[in-house]
Structure 1
């Protein structure tokens, strides 16, 4: 609804910019016609009008970007509000039920497990928002150590299966090549891998089938590839999904709640470690592959501060 209301504003600013550019061009042509025989007005007037046109175009682009950024901020606030309010409401409801009614021990344990899951969801949302605010600020003060990516990814896969109550064969994991070491911050790298896996779970509404592969790429890089058979991504959005607050404007995606920070964190962490992340998809409904690229550490090294 908010996006729909913002579209007239974008159209207005674009139309206004086009009109102003048209007026500026008309004035420029009139100036040239009136002063084409005089050198000094021509030398001063033409650059001035070109600067005026460039300023109008840049101002229009800036305004449209600001409107779109505000749209993403609104979507983020709505998503965070939902992600915070839903588990809090659920926990409160079960607490009121426990307070007002006499329940069997089995029912009480069932309620406790639900409240614990809701509290973990609430904590995960808060941590994601906090990490997004901290990203880039602690990079200079981090101490990086040798990290075994095979062990880290295996742990993340097991954690994902446990958190989402998935069967063991839901996610297949293979690691080829040895050693698969990087120098980095283990907590940050785990956050990146967990966000990729959680995205696969979140956007596979008809059941997750994911393939996780970790392998070296030459001598310089390690590549983590996570492929699923979920709702997929249209080609136009493959690069945008790594922007802060960005969510693909597709019906299936909008039905799935999220903050729009997960892949932004993945990209930020990857780049802080000297790597990058990319997304591949054949289109909507045809699954997605996320590739995390990290510099490979070929020799064992002692901990060293990030320069």
Structure 2
């Protein structure tokens, strides 16, 4: 990528030099001057666009290779673990408590394997914008509560009534309906991905806060904040791209495919909303927010 950037910059510099020299040599001759300036401008624009295209292709290939390596690891590791425990159970006579422990580990590895496959398949599905979807009214408050409980159970986290750090769910103005029209399965994917990311990238202190509020009677805002590894400001706009992972040591040593946030923003936009990220900086936590258009209820219509 550095080679293409340097080469493109040199070519643009040569083209600009030739353009300036052409103007100096032909400033008294009208026809060559009129013909030469647009020609050199097109040449410079073509070289610049070609360089940008090459750099983007190199970056895309790098992300694609990183994705393949991550998915291969995510698929190979649980399969190898399940195979090892199965061979152990087959060759040795183990006590019942040890067998139950092995069964539990194999079930967790199976769930991890299934989650990876489902995420890859979902990334392919959401890219088909023309796909017809059945959308129904969805209570985001109820959906968020269910996703929080699922994440607590899977990650063995505490709730707000526990002294140990965990996930706290807060609904602002709970008497106001937070209904959106959409696919319950896809919206559940959005919330679970945000929660899983918050858990995964909070290696030291697990302190996650989920906030749901109605903004201006027109939008439902769901925010997930953590006190984890944070995101450098330069990468906040890129993290929603397919396969993209922040190239820091703390992120790369954490397992992931680079598809979670891509799914979050894609699904949110397909539902008429959007997704945003904010972070004070590396090591200072992050906040991810999803904005969805609110569906007015009969009570809202009567009030208006």
Q: TM-score, normalised by structure 2?
A: 0.93
Cα distance, 1:68 vs. partner?
A: 1.1
Higher-RCO chain (CA-CA 8 Å, sequence separation at least 6): 1
**Aligned CA distance change for structure 1 residues 77 and 140 (closer, same or farther; 3 Å):** closer
Q: What are the superposed Cα offsets for residues 108-155 of structure 1, whole Å, 9 maximum, x if unpaired?
A: 111111000000000000100111111141654101101011110000
Cα distance, 1:176 vs. partner?
A: 2.6
Rounded Cα–Cα distance in structure 2 between residues aligned with 1:129 and 1:77: 11
* Poorly superposed stretches of 4+, deviation over 6 Å: none
Deviates more, 1:220-229 or 1:32-41: 32-41
User: Is structure 2 residue 179 aligned with structure 1 residue 181?
Assistant: yes
User: Is structure 2 residue 9 aligned with structure 1 residue 11?
Assistant: no
Cα distance, 1:234 vs. partner?
A: 1.1
Cα distance, 1:237 vs. partner?
A: 1.1
SS class of match (2:277): strand
User: Is structure 2 residue 92 aligned with structure 1 residue 101?
Assistant: yes
Rounded Cα–Cα distance in structure 2 between residues aligned with 1:140 and 1:181: 23
Q: Which runs of 5+ in 2 are unaligned?
A: 161-165, 299-304
How many residues align structurally? 292
Given that 1:136 and 1:272 are in contact with CA atoms closer than 8 Å, whether structure 2 keeps it comes out as no
1:5 maps to none
RMSD: 1.4
1:6 maps to none
Given that 1:35 and 1:41 are in contact with CA atoms closer than 8 Å, whether structure 2 keeps it comes out as yes
Q: Which runs of 5+ in 1 are unaligned?
A: 1-9, 301-307
User: Is structure 2 residue 265 aligned with structure 1 residue 267?
Assistant: yes
SS class of match (1:143): coil
1:290 maps to 288
Given that 2:129 and 2:270 are in contact with CA atoms closer than 8 Å, whether structure 1 keeps it comes out as no
Rounded Cα–Cα distance in structure 1 between residues aligned with 2:21 and 2:283: 55
Rounded Cα–Cα distance in structure 1 between residues aligned with 2:248 and 2:225: 20
1:246 maps to 244
Rounded Cα–Cα distance in structure 2 between residues aligned with 1:140 and 1:93: 41
2:150 maps to 159
Q: TM-score, normalised by structure 1?
A: 0.92
- The equivalences for 1:56-205 within 5 A come to 56-137=47-128, 140-169=131-160, 170-177=166-173, 178-205=176-203
Given that 1:246 and 1:260 are in contact with CA atoms closer than 8 Å, whether structure 2 keeps it comes out as yes
Cα distance, 1:203 vs. partner?
A: 0.2
SS class of match (2:58): helix
Rounded Cα–Cα distance in structure 2 between residues aligned with 1:30 and 1:283: 47
